[in-house]
Amino acid sequence: MRWTRGGSRKNVEDRRAQSPSGMGGMGGMSVGRMGIGGMVLLLVLSLVFGQDLITGGGGMPLNPGPGASTPAGAPITESAEEAELVEFVTFVLNDAQEVWATVLPRYGDQYRDARLVLFRGAVQSGCGNASAAMGPFYCPLDERVYIDLGFYDELHRQFGATGDFAQAYVLAHELGHHVQHVVGTDSRVRQLQESNPGQANQLSVRLELQADCYAGVWANSTQQRRLLEAGDLEEALRAASAIGDDRIQQQMTGSVRPESFTHGTAQQRATWFNRGFETGSPDACDPFNNPI
């Protein structure tokens, strides 16, 4: 992907030097608030520790509890590779938000910026305490995307998803959840889940597929502006497929349980990302009223 360094960091909160305490062990977070890597890595950890961290991992407060941290201005030690990655995610954040600020008004909604929080190990969010093991996630209560940059190493090593556009897809997907929050989709889905618990997982799948499609809408804009390079689309599609529920369950347990899916199959995730990419239109991103 063609990108430029030195972008504004007005919407970036760098908490990599902070060390939250009082995490209370592994803890847990509402599945509905997890990001792209949440279900993936919680499944792995559930198998390792022999404890169901996905459905019964112990609740966390919606408001972060007290915890000591290093001063906000503490120096950050980082490798040259990590510094470059910070520049890259800053570019993707700014670029995607500029696109949505242009696109959403055409459909009757005004976009407002999300913030990106960079952290290491653990973090206090508006949705509770979170471990890096949960992967990137979006918290609608404080309108922030949280990511430990080490997740990209896991994406490469554990799931074979390489390339900068695979990394861009991860952030674009989480910003897709922010778009859902801005337009009210996430709150409507939560209401439906509460009134019809038997459909909660299926509704979660459709919410995730829409976020994948929104990521594709942004990717379409990068193609129009000639920011894509050869192989970029394939990188994003491989990343979307690699974290399909079916592939992860097969890899981790040797079996597939469709009734437990929360994010969609490998094919579904790649298909919906590609739908957004091919059309460039949020109108095409409606898995709630179309077959998935």
Return the pLDDT at 58.
35
Percent of the chain clearing pLDDT 90 (strictly above): 62
Return the pLDDT at 73.
58
| 177 and 35 Cβ atoms separated by less than 8 Å | yes
Judge whether residue 52 has pLDDT over 70: no
Judge whether residue 67 has pLDDT over 50: no
Helix (H) or strand (E) holding 128: strand 128-131
Return the pLDDT at 210.
98
| 127 and 25 Cβ atoms separated by less than 8 Å | no
Q: What is the rounded distance in angstroms from the CA atom of residue 152 to the CA atom of residue 139?
A: 20
Question: pLDDT per residue over 192-209, tens digit each?
Answer: 999 999 999 999 999 999
Q: What is the rounded distance in angstroms from the CA atom of residue 219 to the CA atom of residue 213?
A: 10
Q: Could you confirm whether domain 12-284 is CATH 2.20.28? A: no
Band of residue 46 on the pLDDT scale cut at 50, 70, 90: very low
Judge whether residue 69 has pLDDT over 80: no
Question: pLDDT per residue over 106-119, tens digit each?
Answer: 999 999 999 999 99
| 112 and 179 Cβ atoms separated by less than 8 Å | no
Question: pLDDT per residue over 147-196, tens digit each?
Answer: 999 988 888 887 777 889 999 999 999 999 999 999 999 999 999 999 99
